[in-house]
Structure 1
Amino acid sequence: MILYPAIDLKDGQAVRLVHGEMDQATVFNDDPTAQAQSFVDAGCDWLHLVDLNGAFAGTPVNGSAVEAILAACKVPAQLGGGIRDMATIEAWLDKGLARVILGTVAVENPDLVREAAMAFPGHVAVGIDARNGKVATKGWAEETDVEVTDLAKSFEDAGVAAIIYTDILRDGAMGGPNVTATAALAKAVSIPVIASGGVSSLADLKSLRDTGVIAGAISGRALYDGAIDLGEALAMLKSPGV
């Protein structure tokens, strides 16, 4: 199972939100590139980047910060937030991004996801953000009636590289991930599923890994707060699970 250290970008700084509320942002580092490099130095294999302003604006906002991270860090990175058309997808991949994450557009324009996944095999992930099992869009500000599993299954034949499943009510709250719901989703689809939201201890990572079906986990606040030691976590995940 791959551990993805998260860098959430707001106004050019690395922050963490609680439950996705922009007015509850804690600034952890005003130099996101240095933060990313520290994760790379600890041995991470991937970086998970989110343009929070972009998620609300519908277009990239923290582009310069992302570009600086891509230039400095020699591990693959995935990015979500404000990526809602082919031109933006192509531009980011041309700049060295390994994977774009399509969230809002996966609900509002699923044909774009299919087109992008076909044009850029292995480079397109779908971000499914849910509150009580229902998908939320536009930076989690808008609720839909779409069921998580239904949305995921609709992309089974699209060539999507991964599904990033975030339980909004767990995100940034340090209360543990929704292992049951994430594992159920992973069993329901053939697309690799990455868990996000509430991953706050080595025990959480072990629980996700030991399901045997979850491909990855994203953690942010716990790494910044020191609740998870990245080097220790990476070593544990390289050891055999149950």
Structure 2
Amino acid sequence: MILYPAIDLKDGQCVRLLRGAMEAATVFNDDPAAQAEAFVSAGCEWVHLVDLNGAFAGRAVNAAAVEAILARVSVPCQLGGGIRDMAAIEAWLGKGLARVILGTVAVRDPALVKAAARAFPGRVAVGVDARAGMVAVEGWAENTDISALDLARRFEDAGVAALIYTDIDRDGAMQGPNVEATAALARGVSIPVIASGGVSSLDDLRALKACGAPLDGAISGRALYDGRIDLAEAVALLRG
């Protein structure tokens, strides 16, 4: 399993939200590129980026911060938030992103996701963001009547590189991940699944690793900033 440290970008700063609420943002670093460099120095193999403003605006808002990170670090980075058309996908991958994460558009225009996955093999992931098991879109502001598993299965044979499953009610709450729902999703599809939301301790990572489902990795944010998880120790745990 891979540990993906999260850098969530709001107004050019590195922040963490509580359950996706923009008004509940805590600023951890006003230099996201320096934060990314610190994560890489601690041994991470990937960096997970989210343009929070972009998720609401439907277009890139924190592009300058993302580009600064790409210029500073050598490990692969994946980005979600506001990527809604093929032009944006092509532009970001052309700027050096290893992978784009498509969330809202996976619900609104699944054909676009499938076309992108064909055009850029291994470089397109789908964000499956769920509240009480049902998918939410538009920066998690709008609920749908689509279950997480139903959305994931739409892309079963599309060549999608990964599914990033976030339990919104756990995100930023430091209450542990939804291991049961994450494992159920991973068992329900053949696409690699990355767990997100609520990872707040090494024990949480151990629980995900031992869940019995083939998880690709886990994303953690606030716990790394708060010092509840030592990144180097977590990387070693998941590698072992």
Q: Same fold (TM over 0.5)?
A: yes
- For the pair 1:50 / 2:50, whether they are aligned, the reply is yes
Over residues 124-157 of structure 1, what are the superposed CA-to-partner deviations in whole Å (9 max), with x where a residue is unaligned? Answer: 0000100000000000000000011011011001
- How far, CA to CA, are the matches of 2:142 and 2:205 in structure 1? 29
| Alpha-carbon separation, structure 1, partners of 2:46 and 2:92 | 16
Instruction: Kindly indicate whether residue 220 of structure 2 is the aligned counterpart of residue 219 of structure 1.
Output: yes
Residue-by-residue CA offset, 1:15-38 (whole Å, 9 max, x unaligned): 000000000000000000000000
Q: Provide the C-alpha distance between the structure 1 equivalents of 2:52 and 2:31, rounded to a whole number of angstroms.
A: 16
Identity %: 74
The alignment of Structure 1 onto Structure 2 pairs a total of residues equal to: 239
Q: CA deviation at 1:210?
A: 1.3
Q: Please state if 1:40 is matched with 2:40.
A: yes
Residue pairs, 1:9-28, within 5 angstroms = 9-28=9-28
Equivalents in 1 of 2:108, 2:239: separation in Å?
38
Whole-angstrom CA distance in 2 between matches of 1:7 and 1:78: 10
1:163-184: CA deviation from partner (whole Å, max 9, x where unpaired): 0000000000000000000000
- Scaled by the length of structure 1, what TM-score is found? 0.98
Q: Which runs of 4+ in 1 moved over 6 A?
A: none
TM-score (norm 2): 0.99
The 5 Å alignment of 1:123-142 reads: 123-142=123-142
- In 2, the alpha carbon distance for the partners of 1:26 and 1:39 equals 18
**Any gaps of 5 or more consecutive residues in structure 2?**
none
Instruction: Tell me by how many angstroms 1:238 deviates.
Output: 1.8
Shift of 1:211: 2.0
- Measured after TM superposition, the shift of residue 60 of structure 1 is 0.3
**Which structure 2 residues correspond to residues 55-204 of structure 1 after superposition, within 5 A?**
55-204=55-204
1:92 partner SS? helix
- TM-fit CA distance, 1:237: 1.4
What is the SS of the residue equivalent to 1:7?
A: strand
How far apart, CA to CA, are the structure 2 residues paired with 1:238 and 1:76? Answer: 17
Paired with 1:153 and 1:130, the residues of 2 have a C-alpha distance of 15
Once residues 238 and 131 of structure 1 are traced to their aligned partners in structure 2, the CA distance between those partners, rounded to angstroms, is 30
**CA distances 1:6-60 after superposition (whole Å, capped 9, x unpaired):** 0000000000000000000000000000000000000100000000000000000
C-alpha separation between the residues in 1 aligned to 2:45 and 2:91?
23
**What is the identity, as a one-letter code, of the residue corresponding to 1:227?**
R
| Aligned-residue CA RMSD (Å) | 0.5
SS at match of 2:200: coil
Residue of structure 2 equivalent to 1:234: 235
